[in-house]
């Protein structure tokens, strides 16, 4: 009974005003606003953000604070995200959520691997875990130095030398993809768990490496989402709906959807297309 009342509250769209807008890189801005429901979110959960007269889009929660403030980091990729990027402090947006499950909070040796805006839920997770884990190494990937985000925050949270940045053009850190330093890292050091979020092909590579080294893994998946409450089926992967059963999937569930994970997804018409 309690759970269904909670779900109804989460699914009702609340309007709120933008409190702060911060430019993280040329394509990404962080938006902060107040929302009582989403301020209770756990790392990995997402919300649906409505841009009046434009669209409603799913976004990972970057931060949820005790004072009711919530933050999301948004990359400009199309109509809705472009409209959101043009919004200023004081303008109105709508919020539903939080939705979905979250990463497991565990005191163990953890390796985080992020690509692009996939850093958002993992930074939130790192904030919760940093003081609790025995070991935390964060590998983040971006195309260029300009696109790397939240390095200072991560440097403050992780011990020295435990933040590894990679760039595809070699303009900062290790040259290559986020997966480039992993083989060496996994051979040299011991981890109990890998948490990953980013482009699905990257996460598939991380999953294959975790399988090879016998390490537990949790990955946050992205699919097209409309309802966010398990009704429309647009986010389906195998027998799962990413909005209700995920977005965080552990290695056991990922093995069940191995044929699709990192390979295919559904488009707006429900057709299977490559990821």
Ligand X SMILES: Cc1cc2nc3c(=O)[nH]c(=O)nc-3n(C[C@H](O)[C@H](O)[C@H](O)COP(=O)(O)OP(=O)(O)OC[C@H]3O[C@@H](n4cnc5c(N)ncnc54)[C@H](O)[C@@H]3O)c2cc1C
- Joined tokens for residue 202: 């990257």
Binds ligand X by CB under 6 A, chosen from 81, 114, 126, 196:
81
Instruction: Write the DSSP string, 173-234.
Output: SEES-TTTTHHHHHHHS--SEEEEES-HHHHHHHHHHHHHHT-EEEEE-----SSSSSSS-T
Closest residue to ligand X using C-beta atoms: 78
Answer yes or no whether residue 59 interacts with ligand X by CB under 6 A: yes
Instruction: Give whichever of 122 and 225 is closer to ligand FES, judged by the CB atom.
Output: 225
Answer yes or no whether residue 110 interacts with ligand X by CB under 6 A: no
Backbone angles phi, psi at 50, to 5 degrees: -100, 125
**Cβ at position 261, least distance to ligand X in Å:** 15
Instruction: Give whichever of 216 and 275 is closer to ligand X, judged by the CB atom.
Output: 275
Q: Write b or e for each residue in 31-63: b if 16 or more Cβ atoms lie within 10 A of its Cβ, otherwise e.
A: bbbbbebbbebbbbbbbbbbbeeeebbbbbbbb
Binds ligand X by CB under 6 A, chosen from 10, 24, 35, 46:
46
Answer yes or no whether residue 120 interacts with ligand X by CB under 6 A: yes
**Cβ at position 267, least distance to ligand FES in Å:** 14
Tell me which residue of 266, 133, 249 sits closest to 196, measured CA to CA: 249
- Range in contact with ligand X (rule: CB under 6 A) among 50-58, 161-169, 187-195, 249-257: 50-58
Backbone angles phi, psi at 179, to 5 degrees: -80, -15
Helix (H) or strand (E) holding 129: helix 119-129
- Residue whose pair of structure tokens reads 């083989």 in the numeric block: 183
Answer yes or no whether residue 14 interacts with ligand FES by CB under 6 A: no
- Range in contact with ligand X (rule: CB under 6 A) among 63-71, 73-81, 159-167, 252-260: 73-81
- Range in contact with ligand X (rule: CB under 6 A) among 32-40, 57-65, 136-144, 172-180: 57-65
Instruction: Give whichever of 58 and 181 is closer to ligand FES, judged by the CB atom.
Output: 58
70 binds, among ligand FES, ligand X, none (CB under 5 to 8 A by kind): none
DSSP-derived letter for residue 107 is S
The DSSP bridge pattern shows strands 55-60 and 28-34 to be unpaired
- Residues of span 207-266 touching ligand X by CB under 6 A: 222-225, 247
Answer yes or no whether residue 204 interacts with ligand X by CB under 6 A: no
Q: Would you say 234 and 225 are in contact if contact means Cβ atoms under 8 Å apart?
A: yes
- Residues of span 219-248 touching ligand FES by CB under 6 A: 225-228, 230-235, 241, 243
Q: Contact residues for ligand X (CB under 6 A)?
A: 46, 55, 57-60, 72-75, 77-81, 117, 120, 222-225, 247
Q: Contact residues for ligand FES (CB under 6 A)?
A: 225-228, 230-235, 241, 243
């Amino acid at each position: 009974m309690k759970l269904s009342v909670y779900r109804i509250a989460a699914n009702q769209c609340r309007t709120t005003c933008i409190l702060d807008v911060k430019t993280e890189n040329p394509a990404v801005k962080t938006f902060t606003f107040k929302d009582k429901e989403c301020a209770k979110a756990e790392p990995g959960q997402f919300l649906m953000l409505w841009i009046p007269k434009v669209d409603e889009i799913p976004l990972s929660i970057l931060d949820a604070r005790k004072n009711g403030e919530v933050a999301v980091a948004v990359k400009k990729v199309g109509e809705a995200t472009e409209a959101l990027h043009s919004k200023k402090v004081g303008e109105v947006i709508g919020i539903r959520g939080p939705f979905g499950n979250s990463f497991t909070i565990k005191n163990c040796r953890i390796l985080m691997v992020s690509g692009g805006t996939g850093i958002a839920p993992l930074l939130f997770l790192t904030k919760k875990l940093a003081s609790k884990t025995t070991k935390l190494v964060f590998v983040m990937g971006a195309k260029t130095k300009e696109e790397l985000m939240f390095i200072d925050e991560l440097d403050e949270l992780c011990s020295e030398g435990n933040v590894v940045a990679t760039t595809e053009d070699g303009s900062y850190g290790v040259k290559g993809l986020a997966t480039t330093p992993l083989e060496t890292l996994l051979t040299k050091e011991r981890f109990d768990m890998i948490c990953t979020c980013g482009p699905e092909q990257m996460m598939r590579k991380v999953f294959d490496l975790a399988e090879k080294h016998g390490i537990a893994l949790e990955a946050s998946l992205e699919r097209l989402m409309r309802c966010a409450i398990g009704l429309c089926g647009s986010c389906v992967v195998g027998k799962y709906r990413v909005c209700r059963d995920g977005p965080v999937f552990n290695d056991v569930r990922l093995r069940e959807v191995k044929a699709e994970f990192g390979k295919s997804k559904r488009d707006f018409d429900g057709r299977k297309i490559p990821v």
